[in-house]
């Protein structure tokens, strides 16, 4: 298999968001150059280990990639091009925080080769933005969007977060409608998830933060899905919606088992049937790379059973669903549990694929587990009452 995508982690942030579980750092802006140099060195070292083929996608994620100077992004891209090369239609995405950008920065990013923007708006409601600890206002987000357009970005995604405690349903709906009205090519709508190690997790433990009930969360999710679809955005993944042909090729790679390399702090890779990931401490990362030592923290081989589970657990998240082997098709066609899941409009069997049906999207994980569970039972071991 050829390397499909490259993920580059930029951990620097203007402020740490209370819900964010990514590696992110504040107040270490003096490290930008040193870090980018380390990234380039890691890329070169990886290039010696892995097959060098032109990449389909490059993704700068964070942290806040727009916290560093666009020329540094350019420096990384030059290295990428030198080490791996990039396809002529390569998708190069940069995550951007509306509070850290202006027309000049966007133009600069364009000029170094970035062709897709993922704008971390999160909400167009200023109360919600405050709750989420964002540095920007709704107005700044709208200005950022038009600057991006002005700078020539013709492929822009808007990130939104729903199910934020104490944010009203009308406020959320207003945010979605505002996003639609800006006519981006892509919208990601994520349910707020309380991750271990975040400020939100701490507040929840202390009883200071009361998350939405499962029912309310589901209601917002279902409303959002239908609203976006009726506005012409196709749902191609649990949290991702795009106008035709504007799906994120990079993210799709994750769901469909394509190979990707991740460089930088705590970045994850999947190459040659192995998953590995980098350490998450900035000092150790810099020292290791500068000392020509691999910054890898861990590595695991994906065995046959795990690979199959991943195929279902990831693939089912997408609108294409999971491509089934003939044996899997046979089992699913005649399985009673499967029949009930189809009856309930959770799943659909489309000759060689299993895909989420309308009521399945909000239960995708549970369904993926069901599927692997029933496929892992030995054939004679299914005394199911139909």
Interface residues toward another protein, by CB under 8 A? 7, 9, 21-22, 61, 190-193, 214-215, 217-218, 221, 238-239, 254, 260, 262, 266-270, 275, 277, 300, 306, 309-310, 313-314, 317, 337, 340-341, 344, 346, 361-370, 372-373, 377-378, 380-385
What's the closest the beta carbon of residue 119 comes to another protein, in angstroms?
A: 16
Least distance between another protein and beta carbon 45 (Å): 19
215 vs 193: CA distance, rounded Å: 15
Instruction: Please return the burial class of 278, using the count of CB atoms within 10 Å of its CB with bins 0-12, 13-18 and 19+.
Output: buried
188 - beta bridge partners? Answer: 159, 240
Q: d(Cα 283, Cα 274) in Å, to the nearest integer?
A: 26
Q: Under a CB-based contact definition with an 8 Å cutoff, are residues 193 and 240 in contact?
A: no
Shortest reach from residue 163's CB to another protein, in Å: 9
Residue placing its CB nearer to another protein in the complex, 140 or 159? 159
Instruction: Choose between 291 and 385: whose C-beta lies nearer to another protein.
Output: 385
Q: Are strands 3-10 and 55-62 parallel, antiparallel or unpaired?
A: parallel
In the bound complex, what is the minimum distance in angstroms from residue 369's beta carbon to another protein?
Answer: 5
Burial class (CB in 10 A: 0-12, 13-18, 19+), 289: buried
Kindly state the smallest distance separating residue 61's Cβ from another protein, in Å.
5
- For residue 59, the minimal CB distance to another protein (Å) is 8
Q: Which is nearer to another protein, 111 or 193 (CB)?
A: 193
Rounded alpha-carbon distances, angstroms, from residue 367 to 52, 192, 363? 38, 21, 6
Q: Specify the residue, 30 or 378, whose C-beta has the smaller distance to another protein.
A: 378
State how far the Cα of 76 lies from the Cα of 189, in Å rounded to an integer. Answer: 29
Name the residue nearer to another protein (CB basis): 154 or 377.
Answer: 377
């Amino acid at each position: 298999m050829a390397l499909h995508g490259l993920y580059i982690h930029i951990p620097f942030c203007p402020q740490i968001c209370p819900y964010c579980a990514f590696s992110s750092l504040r107040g270490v802006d003096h490290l930008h150059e040193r870090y980018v140099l380390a990234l380039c060195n890691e890329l070169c070292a990886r290039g010696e280990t892995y097959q060098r083929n032109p990449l389909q996608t490059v993704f700068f994620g964070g942290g806040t990639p727009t916290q560093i100077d666009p020329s540094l992004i350019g420096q990384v891209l030059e290295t990428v091009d030198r080490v791996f090369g990039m396809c002529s239609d390569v998708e190069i995405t940069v995550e951007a925080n509306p509070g850290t950008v202006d027309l000049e920065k966007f133009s600069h990013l364009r000029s170094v080769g970035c062709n897709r923007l993922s704008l971390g708006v999160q909400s167009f409601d200023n109360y919600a933005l405050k709750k989420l600890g964002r540095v920007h206002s709704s107005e700044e987000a709208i200005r950022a969007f038009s600057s991006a357009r002005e700078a020539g970005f013709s492929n822009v995604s808007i990130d939104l977060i729903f199910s934020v405690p104490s944010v009203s349903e009308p406020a959320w709906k207003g945010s979605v409608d505002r996003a639609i009205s800006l006519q981006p090519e892509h919208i990601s709508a994520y349910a707020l998830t309380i991750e271990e190690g975040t400020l939100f997790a701490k507040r929840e433990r202390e009883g200071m933060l009361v998350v939405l009930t499962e029912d309310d969360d589901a209601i917002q999710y279902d409303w959002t899905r239908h609203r976006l679809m009726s506005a012409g955005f196709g749902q191609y993944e649990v949290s991702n919606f795009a106008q035709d042909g504007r799906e994120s090729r990079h993210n799709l790679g994750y769901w469909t088992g394509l190979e990707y390399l991740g460089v930088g702090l705590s970045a994850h890779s999947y190459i040659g049937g192995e998953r590995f990931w980098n350490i998450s401490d900035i000092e150790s990362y810099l020292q290791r790379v500068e000392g020509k030592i691999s910054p890898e923290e861990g590595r695991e081989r994906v065995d046959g059973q795990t690979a199959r589970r991943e195929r279902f657990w990831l693939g089912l998240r997408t609108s294409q669903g999971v491509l089934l082997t003939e044996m899997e098709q046979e089992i699913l066609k005649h399985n009673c549990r499967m029949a009930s899941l189809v009856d309930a409009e959770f799943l659909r069997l489309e000759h060689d694929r299993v895909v989420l049906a309308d009521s399945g999207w909000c239960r995708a994980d549970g369904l993926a587990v069901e599927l692997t569970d029933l496929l892992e039972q030995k054939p004679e071991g299914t005394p199911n009452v139909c």
